[in-house]
């Protein structure tokens, strides 16, 4: 009965957190965006984008950036699909794009290794692929990539944790090892803390980058490792799930460090709910990717991998980024 009550309490707290930060959920709808604005270009283009999830403000902002270049600026069409964290669905969606003979495909892979089948199909069809945010294992199969410098995003969090804890903490990590971008973030974090022997990783598990998965994982961590006093999560939705579990357990001594810099997380920083978030700039990345695709179609030389810097947001600077 005690476990049941705790689960109900955590679920209630999660609901309250989600309401408080007004999280955005897009579900699984396919969106097609176009405009009738006149353009000097004689040929109109159709592009397609497959996001590993649209149930995350980060990729909502990626979409805004892409649309600002493709739809608003050029008057072209952008088909957008949510893979719903399912690599088989994502491969099928990409195959559909190929059958539609789109001019280029943007992909944020669900699985850095598993996406190879779709990349091979696109390459065989001579359709350019631009990777969004999540580098695949087979980078030779893509035309370009636009990502955060994920190693540095993790490293700045590790540096902040070392500074804030005086180099002493028992850390839980909620990651997602099938995605290369996440591996890079975690590698950056561990590289920053390894020089501090007083910081020990005592629990670690994949959380599939979602609030719903992170909550029960954090609950289990707290039961099996009550000494935990710091948490590193690979994205802000995971941080929200971890926070719900921590608050349900009435633990006020645990500091959460996250990555994304979403408005949801910045509000939690403001309210002293999490220690900080390493900000990404998804709107900017979407704009960069949207600009790149036209250069690629025009046979211009482009940089293979564009890395956009991140920065750490905490109590000292959140006012600059809170909208």
Secondary structure (DSSP) of 243-263:
HHHHHHTT--S-EEEEEE--H
CATH of the domain at 190: 3.40.50.2300
Same domain, 252 and 269: yes
Same domain, 269 and 286: no
Domain assignment of residue 63, yes or no = yes
Same domain, 238 and 179: yes
Cα–Cα distance for residue pair 186/40, rounded to 1 Å: 46
pLDDT number for residue 6: 55
Same domain, 129 and 225: no
pLDDT number for residue 235: 96
Same domain, 104 and 142: yes
Q: How far is CA 112 from the centre of its chain?
A: 14
pLDDT number for residue 2: 47
Length of the chain: 323
Domain assignment of residue 14, yes or no = no
Domain assignment of residue 120, yes or no = yes
Domain assignment of residue 155, yes or no = yes
Same domain, 50 and 119: yes
Domain assignment of residue 113, yes or no = yes
Same domain, 160 and 140: no
Q: What is each CA distance from 281 to 278, 312, 319, in whole angstroms?
A: 10, 12, 16
Same domain, 200 and 300: no
Please give the tally of structural domains in the chain: 2
Cα–Cα distance for residue pair 23/262, rounded to 1 Å: 10
Same domain, 188 and 100: no
Same domain, 54 and 170: no
Same domain, 167 and 211: yes
Cα–Cα distance for residue pair 248/242, rounded to 1 Å: 10
Kind plus residue range of the DSSP H or E element containing 294 = helix 282-297
Helix (H, G, I), strand (E, B) or coil at 228: coil
Phi, psi (rounded to 5 degrees) for 242: -60, -40
pLDDT number for residue 20: 59
Domain assignment of residue 112, yes or no = yes
Domain assignment of residue 6, yes or no = no
Which pLDDT tens digits describe the chain residue by residue (323 residues)? 445 555 556 666 666 666 655 444 444 444 544 444 444 446 899 999 999 999 988 999 999 999 999 999 999 999 999 999 999 999 999 999 999 999 999 999 999 999 999 999 999 999 999 999 999 999 999 999 999 999 999 999 999 999 999 999 999 999 999 899 999 999 999 999 999 999 999 999 999 999 999 999 999 999 999 999 999 999 999 999 999 999 999 999 999 999 999 999 999 999 999 999 999 999 999 999 999 999 999 999 999 999 999 999 999 999 999 99
Boundaries of domain holding 89? 31-147+282-307
* Per-residue b or e along 257-266, where b marks 16 or more CB atoms closer than 10 Å to that residue's CB: bbbbbbbbbb
* Per-residue b or e along 63-90, where b marks 16 or more CB atoms closer than 10 Å to that residue's CB: bebbbebbbebbbbbbbbbbbbbbbebb
Same domain, 169 and 250: yes
Domain assignment of residue 26, yes or no = no
pLDDT number for residue 43: 84
């Amino acid at each position: 009965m005690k476990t049941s009550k705790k689960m109900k309490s955590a679920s209630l707290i999660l609901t309250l957190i989600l309401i408080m930060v007004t999280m955005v959920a897009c579900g699984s709808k396919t969106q097609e965006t176009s405009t009738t604005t006149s353009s000097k270009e004689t040929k109109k283009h159709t592009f397609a984008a497959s996001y590993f999830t649209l149930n995350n403000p980060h990729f909502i902002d990626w979409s805004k950036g892409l649309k600002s270049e493709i739809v608003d600026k050029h008057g072209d069409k952008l088909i957008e699909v949510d893979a719903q964290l399912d690599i088989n669905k994502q491969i099928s969606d990409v195959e559909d794009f190929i059958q539609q003979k789109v001019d280029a495909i943007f992909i944020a892979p669900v699985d850095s290794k598993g996406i190879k089948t779709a990349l091979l199909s696109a390459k065989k069809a001579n359709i350019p692929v631009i990777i969004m945010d999540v580098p695949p294992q087979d980078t030779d199969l893509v035309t370009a990539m636009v990502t955060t410098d994920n190693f540095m995003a993790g490293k700045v969090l590790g540096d902040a944790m070392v500074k804030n804890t005086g180099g002493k903490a028992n850390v839980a990590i909620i990651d997602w090892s099938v995605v290369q971008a996440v591996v890079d973030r975690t590698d950056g974090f561990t590289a920053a803390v390894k020089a501090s022997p007083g910081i020990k990783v005592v629990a670690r598990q994949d959380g599939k980058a979602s609030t719903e998965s992170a909550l029960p994982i954090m609950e289990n961590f707290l039961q099996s490792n009550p000494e935990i006093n710091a948490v590193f999560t690979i994205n802000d939705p995971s941080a929200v799930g971890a926070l719900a579990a921590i608050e349900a357990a009435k633990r006020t001594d645990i500091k959460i460090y996250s990555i994304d810099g979403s408005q949801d997380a910045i509000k939690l920083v403001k309210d002293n709910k999490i220690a900080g978030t390493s900000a990404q700039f998804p709107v900017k990345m979407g704009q960069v990717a949207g600009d790149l695709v036209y250069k690629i179609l025009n046979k211009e030389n482009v940089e293979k991998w564009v890395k956009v810097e991140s920065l750490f947001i905490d109590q000292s600077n959140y006012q600059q980024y809170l909208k």
